[in-house]
Amino acid sequence: MLLGVAGLTPGDWTTVDENVAKTVREHGFRTLQLRVPDPLNRDPATVERVKNAFASAGLALGQTVGEYGGGLVSDDESIRHDAVEALKQMATFTRIIGGTNTYLRPGSMNPGGAWWPHPDNRSDQVFDRLVKSAREAAQAASDEDVMLAVEGGVVCPLFSPERTREFFDAVDSPAMGYNMDPVNYIANLETAYDSTSLLNDLFDRLGHVTIAAHAKDFTVVDGLLPHFDEAVIGDGMLDQDTFLRRMLSVRPDAHVLIEHLPDDLIPAARDGLNAAAANAGIEWDEPPD
């Protein structure tokens, strides 16, 4: 597996140069997620510069992520269509830049954000629209010879391991992969205090379609009502050893990306994940030549 990061970049993919790539490598990472606000901006000179920067630093090109919002589940057909088209363009961009997969966020009926809750997110109608959108996007990804990497979470239409497996069974496309992100499924105290069971459930149901992972951690916030916050890896409650062991067992070539942290906290998260890897007897790989 390759240790990677979503961060340490002063902007979007166009700001990646040899200095940025070198800094990422010096931090111990071997791959870097690319943020792509406009997948139609595919200036050949910029593409070549970014690819050369990765190569010169010994980084592997992997996951790209677009900014198309939550419209894949919209009940407005024009909004849904535009979101699908944006994801199709991300597949094309990923092929051009030399990446392996592009991230698919399931979306939300909440107009405030793609990762905000809404009561309709758990409805069959929303699930069916997501499946329809995903099938269309997966065909485009297949045509470009790249993968889509979808993840779920308790606030979105893929709100549980069971529902996420139902999604894969319904879409039924070899171009649709799973981005393992267990922290997103922390829904209650029972799950928080037994993350090992959650991890085993996720890998049992979705290990066969897992292609990548986002590494995070979480804590329970003291208070009358249950509340959870993300934490620096190693300072939280996720069973990182089991997370890494099972990732290695299902996808030994996976890119595992630390995300959702400001740059100044990334080294501590890296150290925490490295400690878990050492405890699990796992050594990170180097990118293939």
Structure confidence by residue, pLDDT tens digits, 240-273 = 999 999 999 999 999 999 999 999 999 999 999 9
Q: What is the mean pLDDT of residues 177-188?
A: 97
Closest C-alpha to 58, from 36, 79, 32, 38: 32
pLDDT higher than 90, residue 48: yes
User: Mean of the pLDDT values across residues 111-134?
Assistant: 97
289 pLDDT higher than 80 = no
* pLDDT, tens only, 15-29: 999 999 999 999 999
Best CA proximity match to 235, nearest among 287, 207, 271? 271
Mean pLDDT of 185-208: 97
Average pLDDT across the chain, whole number? 96
pLDDT of 287 reads: 87
pLDDT of 81 reads 96
**What mean pLDDT do residues 41-58 have?**
96
pLDDT at residue 68 in the model: 85
| CA trace torsion 161, 162, 168, 171 (10° rounding) | -130
Q: With bands split at pLDDT 50, 70 and 90, how would you rate the model's confidence at 69? A: confident
Show the domains of the chain with their CATH numbers: 2-279 (3.20.20.150)
Cα-based angle 108, 150, 64 (whole degrees, multiple of 5):
105
pLDDT tens per residue, range 155-171: 999 999 999 999 999 99
Q: In sequence order, what are the residues at sequence separation of 6 or more whose Cβ sits closer than 8 angstroms to the Cβ of residue 27?
A: 5, 8, 266, 267, 270
DSSP the chain: -EEEES---SSSGGG--HHHHHHHHHTT-SEEEEEES-TT---HHHHHHHHHHHHHHTPEEEEEEE--TTGGG-SSHHHHHHHHHHHHHHHHHHHHHT-SEEEE----S-TT-TTS--GGGGSHHHHHHHHHHHHHHHHHHHHHT-EEEE---TTSSS-SHHHHHHHHHHH--TTEEEEE-GGGG--SHHHHTTHHHHHHHHHHHHGGGEEEEEE-EEEEPPSSS--EEEE-TTSS-S-HHHHHHHHHHH-TT-EEEE-SS-GGGHHHHHHHHHHHHHHTT--PPPPP-
Kindly indicate the confidence band of residue 44, based on its pLDDT and cuts at 50, 70 and 90. Answer: very high
Among 30, 38, 29, CA closest to 64: 38
**How many whole angstroms separate alpha carbon 118 and alpha carbon 284?**
39
